[in-house]
Amino acid sequence: MIIKNLLVALAITSAIISSAFAKQVTHYDWIVKGKKTGYQIVTHINEYQYKSKFEFNDRGRGPKITETIKLDRNGNIIEQKVSGHTYLGAKVDENYNFKDGIAHWQSTQENESRKVEKNNFYYSADGTFLGLELMVRAIDKQENKSLALLPSGTATIQKLMDTRVTKGTESKDVTLIAINGLDFTPFYAWFDKDLNFFAYASAWGGLALQGWGDNLTHLLELEDTATIQYYQNLAIRHTEQLTGITLFTNINIFNAVNDHLLSNTQVAVQNGKILAIGESTNEFKPTKTIDGQGLTMMPGLWDMHSHMSLNSGLLNVANGVTSVRDLGNDHDQLMKVIKVFDSGEAIGPSIYKGGMLDKKTDYSIPVGKTASTLDEALEHVDWYSERGYQQIKVYSSIDPEWVKPIAEHVHKRNMRVGGHIPSFMSAEQAVMAGFDEIQHINMVFLNFLASDKDDTRTPLRYMLVAEKAGDLDLNSKPVEDFTALLKEKDVVVDPTVTILHSMFTNKAGEIDPSYAAVAEHFPASKVRELLRPGIDITEDNEQQYERSAQALLDMVEKLHLAGVRLVAGTDAMAGFALHRELELYVKAGIPTGEVLKIATVNAARIAGREDIGTIEEGKIADLILIDGNPLENISEIRKVALVVKDGRMFRPNEMFKSIGVKPFTTAYSF
């Protein structure tokens, strides 16, 4: 009887233990425009071990990651392995372990060991949302809600708001948590009451607990409210409203009319406009006088290829970018951003709207409008026109037969049309069908490198250029004829050469060339991101890709010499990428004065504005002060000391400090 009772007790105990450590599998859906295009599966193997798989398909691109994690009793990671590939296909192979006071991590980017007093939380370079979930739980256990990270930095969390989500008759309460210390600005995600990850929401797609994806739109709206509040607080701290007449003295002016500086002069501004320049300023009594201390004043910069968000605003203005052209976004999201930027509630540039248009396929854009028929596409053009869009950006899945009627309809609406060259169509055909503009320099190369069988909706639109552009004879008759056609038709080219040049040259473990000049100013956690490559660069393809990267610059110079108008756009990190874009234009051989005009007056005119882009009396006073002379050294364009926009004044040094960026100029007392 005793033995029987003991066996029963052991069975019960075993059942309890098994129950406590029963394997749990949690499924998540990656959702774009209401459609599932990916997933995350998290397996809770036992109390301390987890496995996660995450992948999604974005127009033939997307990450594919497997992650395994083992925790200690404090919730910190003691073993972790991450494998797979990045969004653009670069290999991921990352390992971490902590033993006997030694933390060691190794990946395609890093290989380091460090003795630490205690096991700080390791934050993976390429992990899934599982790592984020476990980090939030570990931080929440800390009394001050703060936790030191490995390899560097400190993360904190702030619980911002609660809401109730539903799935049929089910409901649950979730909390929006801001995670600070991972980037320039907070990262937002939603968690349930037990700090299980519930959702990540964005305008371009989101991840939600399986079956609960219909809540993403509501969650994004609430997230926007929190984000706006964050940027409103920054705006209050960093905006000075100019009243009356403000006189800037002791400045050198690049007015974007001439290619030289006007030395030791002064400018008066009032009500957001340039009132007087030089001696004529003596006629007015200033309310405020600012000693420019020999700095260079020039018009605010333009980024002509952006996808704006609230997070982009401060970064743009702090870098001297006062106007941007948005070439594809969620309309409602974009209008919210424009509203708070224009009102001054948040710091940001003026935004010129371009609407994205694509055909419904498996490769369709995740934002903007998609059409199943030509008639529907034309209706979308009308929709954009009625809402004040200045441009239509067609995308890669558009039927080539649609391009001409779309272009004709766009022009009737007094709008511009451009974009990607549709798959199975050449750039020459697109130009003849009515394109006003071509986005991305690789689209120019594909005119010569892609056949009518190549599906450039896929990453092939990059890889063909990476593999073959270096071998293209830029002095050949086909290239000469095409550049002449672009000039004849006055087709503008928006090279976005920075992202492509980096894609072809950014090797694992090296700082992304786009940001090598500024990385030392960034938080350590952000610098780590810059070690991550895009495509897989190996010993076998490295030299060919380098040659192709140089060919991109050679083509930019050739277009300029042929008289083809260029605009400086980025499609990359706000503010910082534009400076690199301008550097590359100079490196390509375009004179510095011409490059500065491309980024100021030329952009304004292409955007249809005659009242901005130069420093002339009566023009809008979007102005920046540079601590140096960018005409002599284009790299000094990064040293923005002061920004004036919409009758408001901003000090980049203080703005950068507020987001953890080391300033680029000495402190001036303006």
Please report whether residue 191 resides in a domain: yes
Shared domain for 313 and 193, answered yes or no, is: no
DSSP 1: -
Q: State the pLDDT at residue 88.
A: 87
- For 224, 448, 478, 557, 567, the CA distances from 481, given in Å and listed in that order, are 49, 12, 5, 16, 21
Shared domain for 493 and 632, answered yes or no, is: yes
493: helix, coil or strand?
strand
Flag whether pLDDT at 9 surpasses 80.
no
Q: What count of other Cβ atoms lies within 10 Å of the Cβ of residue 318?
A: 27
Flag whether pLDDT at 295 surpasses 70.
yes
- Per-residue model confidence as pLDDT tens digits over 462-486: 999 999 999 999 999 999 999 999 9
Shared domain for 31 and 120, answered yes or no, is: yes
The bridge status of strand 197-200 relative to strand 262-270 is: unpaired
Position 185: which residue type? T
Average pLDDT over residues 475-498: 98
Range of the domain at 68: 21-236
Shared domain for 393 and 540, answered yes or no, is: yes
Q: State the pLDDT at residue 81.
A: 98
187: helix, coil or strand?
strand
Alpha carbons 269 and 620: distance in angstroms, whole number: 9
Peptide bond before residue 151 is cis, with ω within 30 degrees of 0: yes
Average pLDDT over residues 263-280: 97
Secondary structure, 3-state, 464-527: HHHHHHHHCCCCCHHHHHHHHHHHHCCCEEECCHHHHHHHHHCCCCCCCHHHCCCHHHCCHHHH
Q: In 452-535, at which residue ranges do the beta strands (DSSP E only) sit?
A: 492-494
Q: State the pLDDT at residue 22.
A: 79
Shared domain for 325 and 231, answered yes or no, is: no
- Among 192, 218, 236, residue at a domain's last position: 236
Please report whether residue 663 resides in a domain: no
Cβ burial, residue 100 (10 Å; 0-12/13-18/19+): exposed
- Per-residue model confidence as pLDDT tens digits over 28-64: 999 998 899 999 999 999 989 999 999 999 888 899 9
Shared domain for 331 and 184, answered yes or no, is: no
CB 603 within 8 A of CB 304: yes
Alpha carbons 393 and 399: distance in angstroms, whole number: 14
Give the dihedral of Cα atoms 221, 225, 231, 232; nearest 10 deg.
Answer: 140
425: helix, coil or strand?
coil
Cβ burial, residue 107 (10 Å; 0-12/13-18/19+): buried
- Per-residue model confidence as pLDDT tens digits over 569-586: 999 999 999 999 999 999
Q: How confident is the model at residue 667 (pLDDT cuts 50, 70, 90)?
A: confident
CATH code for the domain of 586: 3.20.20.140
Least confident window among 110-114, 318-322, 427-431, 651-655? 110-114
Least confident window among 39-43, 143-147, 268-272? 143-147
Flag whether pLDDT at 12 surpasses 60.
no
- Per-residue model confidence as pLDDT tens digits over 598-623: 999 999 999 999 999 999 999 999 99
Please report whether residue 525 resides in a domain: yes
Position 581: which residue type? E
- Per-residue model confidence as pLDDT tens digits over 221-255: 999 999 999 999 999 999 999 999 999 999 999 99
Q: State the pLDDT at residue 259.
A: 85
Average pLDDT over residues 643-669: 94
**Of residues 530, 525, 654, the one with CA closest to residue 179:** 525
Top-confidence residue, 74 or 177: 177
Q: How confident is the model at residue 6 (pLDDT cuts 50, 70, 90)?
A: very low
Shared domain for 451 and 550, answered yes or no, is: yes
Tell me the residue length of the chain. 670
**Of residues 574, 514, 506, the one with CA closest to residue 542:** 506
**H helix intervals, 170-282:** 216-238
Average pLDDT over residues 482-511: 96
DSSP 396: T
Shared domain for 225 and 303, answered yes or no, is: no
CB 652 within 8 A of CB 644: no
Flag whether pLDDT at 98 surpasses 80.
yes
Please report whether residue 255 resides in a domain: no
Q: State the pLDDT at residue 14.
A: 40
Please report whether residue 271 resides in a domain: no
The bridge status of strand 416-419 relative to strand 262-270 is: unpaired
Strand partners for 419: 394, 438
Residue 498 phi, psi dihedral angles, 5° rounding: -60, -50
265, containing H or E segment? strand 262-270
- Among 213, 236, 259, residue at a domain's last position: 236
**Of residues 634, 632, 629, the one with CA closest to residue 588:** 634
> In the structure encoding, which two tokens stand for residue 657, read together?
């400090």
Q: How confident is the model at residue 21 (pLDDT cuts 50, 70, 90)?
A: low
Cβ burial, residue 599 (10 Å; 0-12/13-18/19+): buried
Residue 360 phi, psi dihedral angles, 5° rounding: -70, 110
Which residues, at least 6 apart from 417, have a Cβ–Cβ distance to it below 8 Å?
Answer: 391, 392, 393, 394, 406, 407, 410, 411, 434, 435, 436, 437
Q: What count of other Cβ atoms lies within 10 Å of the Cβ of residue 251?
A: 24
Cβ burial, residue 142 (10 Å; 0-12/13-18/19+): middle
Shared domain for 330 and 479, answered yes or no, is: yes
- Report the chain's mean pLDDT, rounded to a whole number: 94
Please report whether residue 268 resides in a domain: no
Alpha carbons 268 and 42: distance in angstroms, whole number: 61
Q: State the pLDDT at residue 20.
A: 54
Q: State the pLDDT at residue 74.
A: 82
Shared domain for 487 and 615, answered yes or no, is: yes
Q: How confident is the model at residue 119 (pLDDT cuts 50, 70, 90)?
A: low
Flag whether pLDDT at 16 surpasses 60.
no
Q: What count of other Cβ atoms lies within 10 Å of the Cβ of residue 123?
A: 24
DSSP string across 23-44: -EEEEEEEEETTEEEEEEEEEE
CB 670 within 8 A of CB 527: no
Question: Which conformational region is residue 373 in: left (phi greater than 0), alpha (psi within -120 to 50 degrees), or beta?
Answer: beta
Please report whether residue 287 resides in a domain: no
How many domains does the chain divide into?
2
Shared domain for 351 and 229, answered yes or no, is: no
Please report whether residue 261 resides in a domain: no
Residue 326 phi, psi dihedral angles, 5° rounding: -90, 120
489: helix, coil or strand?
coil
- Among 217, 236, 255, residue at a domain's last position: 236
CB 251 within 8 A of CB 266: yes
- Per-residue model confidence as pLDDT tens digits over 508-544: 889 999 999 999 999 888 888 898 888 889 999 999 9
Shared domain for 303 and 417, answered yes or no, is: yes
